[in-house]
Amino acid sequence: MFRTAELGQQISKQDYREIEPVLRQELLALQRELLALSSTPVMIVFAGVDGAGKGATVNLLNEWMDPRWLTNCAYRAPSEEERERPEYWRFWRDLPAKGSIGLYMSSWHSRPVLDRVNEKITVPEFDEDLDRIINFETAQAVDGALILKFWMHLSKSAQKKRLRALEKDPLLAWQVTARDWQHWRMYDQFIEAAERLIMRTNTAHAPWSIVEGSDPNYRAVMVATTIRDAMARRIDEIKAQQALREATKQSVADLPDMLTTAPIALPSVTVLNQLNLEQTLSRSDYRSQLKRYQAKLSLLHRRAFEQGTSTLVVMEGPDAAGKGGAIRRVISALDPHTYQVQPFAAPTDEERAHHYLWRFWRHLSRAGHVTIYDRSWYGRVLVERVEGFAQEIEWRRAYAEINDFEEQLIERGIVLIKIWLHISPDEQLARFKEREVIAHKQWKLTDEDWRNREKWNDYELAAHDMVQYTSTHHAPWVLVEGNDKRFARIKVLKTLCDALEKILDN
């Protein structure tokens, strides 16, 4: 795989002097143009052999391009806070905003390759890591990111020559440590792992370029022209799409209205309309069970906190289903030092400039905490789908992205509980009318609630699909019958207790 990068490619000093200023100017111009379009984050990944010029190339790009929209992202051994979250937390945190460029070193490819070289993981485990890499890069790419990956290569003998030369220079000898020679001795294993990495993760939307690293001029020009060409192509694509959209908008406007208002056909049987909403709980049973489960939850949470086990509770359901009331019964059993209610507020402009999952990654709490999401990332396949805020292609791929996200949470030992609190349309109407008359509940009822109600079928279908596609073995949806508030609240508390108990007893 790397033979083509051991040809001794060079660019003469004289040629370089001519090429460099032109390249710099082109890169700068493209960077500014991409920034103005503000739809594309750029992720440029550097990996490869020691001494093949990764750092030097990153430095060069820092010098050549506008540093205001360029960030260096490099990773050491994970910190305590990073270890408390899934491995990819820190990569999600650092994602560049639309229009910005991130330069990555020692990033998500690094740990799997080194683990494989040091035989800490088997080949099948390595492959799983590579799958995660593909998922991560794909999620960013389909969301609009431009991803370029450079493998900087040096042959084994060239690497040896380089180390020897450094050692001989009294000013530079300090750069060579025992670790460098140790790495050199592992060269063959390293190349083997690298080949597998590149072979498997060399996708169309996140391609690798293998660059011969021995001549600084050559590698600089290779990397810079690859970046230049990719950026130019992307800008052309965006402009073509914009033109197409303009043209389409015109022709759609000419179509009769009926085409856009086709009614949604709800399957006669959905997971929701099969629920037995008649279940109730007497006031006295409620009182005794509330006390019992709150005490139990309190103890379980204390144990979970002590062993650093976090809990995420997702609460979804129709308006007025009683999510707030159920959440209040949960939190009054918890220590306020270690829980958070995370509401689903409108995204900030920073959040809008990233993948829609970014804001959920970014706010993952520290170990041992309970976070309750009053609406959640499922907004993508519920409200955003129904209201048309997300295009069909976007919400359809969200199912897989969400499953992947949740899998990473569970792998890190986080307890994930997903609750759909359901009520019948009639019950919702009764509660809306009640809210209209009770003073301290009026604020809870908005015009939007009435509008959402008109789309009951759309929402029910979206919820049905959501349960279908995201109720996995490890992260199942719990459907809670909510027409009777007492019954629902106890079932929610019990669900939390059961989930915590199951994990803590393992």
Interface residues with a copy of itself (CB under 8 A)? 21, 24-25, 28-29, 32, 55, 58-59, 62-63, 67-72, 74, 76, 79-81, 103, 105-106, 171, 174, 295, 299, 302, 324, 327-328, 331-332, 334-341, 343, 345, 348-350, 366, 374, 439-440, 443
User: Backbone phi, then psi, for 368, in 5-degree steps?
Assistant: 90, -10
Q: Which two tokens stand for residue 165?
A: 């030369």
Question: C-beta of 474: minimal distance to a copy of itself in Å?
Answer: 28
Q: Enter the DSSP assignment of 257.
A: G
Taking the least distance from each CB to a copy of itself, the nearer of 324 and 425 is: 324
Q: Enter the DSSP assignment of 363.
A: T
Taking the least distance from each CB to a copy of itself, the nearer of 32 and 185 is: 32
- Helix or strand holding residue 478 (H, E): strand 477-481
Give the angle subtended at the CA of 77 by the CAs of 75 and 79, to the nearest 5°: 95
Question: C-beta of 244: minimal distance to a copy of itself in Å?
Answer: 29
Decide: residue 470, CB within 10 A, 0-12 exposed, 13-18 middle, 19+ buried: buried
Question: C-beta of 69: minimal distance to a copy of itself in Å?
Answer: 8
Chain-centre distance of CA 6, in angstroms? 37
Q: Are 432 and 453 in contact (CB under 8 A)?
A: yes
Taking the least distance from each CB to a copy of itself, the nearer of 342 and 452 is: 342
CA distances from 272 to 284, 423, 482 (A): 28, 9, 11
Question: C-beta of 349: minimal distance to a copy of itself in Å?
Answer: 5
CA nearest neighbour of 210 among 152, 146, 156, 157: 152
Integer Cα distance of 323 and 479 in angstroms: 13
User: Backbone phi, then psi, for 432, in 5-degree steps?
Assistant: -60, -45
Question: C-beta of 159: minimal distance to a copy of itself in Å?
Answer: 19
Taking the least distance from each CB to a copy of itself, the nearer of 135 and 310 is: 310
Chain-centre distance of CA 182, in angstroms? 35
Q: Tell me how far apart the terminal alpha carbons of the chain are, to the nearest angstrom.
A: 45
Taking the least distance from each CB to a copy of itself, the nearer of 130 and 492 is: 492
Question: C-beta of 220: minimal distance to a copy of itself in Å?
Answer: 13
Taking the least distance from each CB to a copy of itself, the nearer of 80 and 447 is: 80
Question: C-beta of 497: minimal distance to a copy of itself in Å?
Answer: 15
Q: Concatenate the DSSP letters of all residues of 381-449 into one string.
A: GTHHHHTTSS-HHHHHHHHHHHHHHHHHHHHTT-EEEEEEEE--HHHHHHHHHHHHHSGGGGGG--HHH
Taking the least distance from each CB to a copy of itself, the nearer of 79 and 250 is: 79
Decide: residue 182, CB within 10 A, 0-12 exposed, 13-18 middle, 19+ buried: exposed
Taking the least distance from each CB to a copy of itself, the nearer of 375 and 455 is: 375
Taking the least distance from each CB to a copy of itself, the nearer of 175 and 280 is: 175
Question: C-beta of 21: minimal distance to a copy of itself in Å?
Answer: 6
Question: C-beta of 3: minimal distance to a copy of itself in Å?
Answer: 29
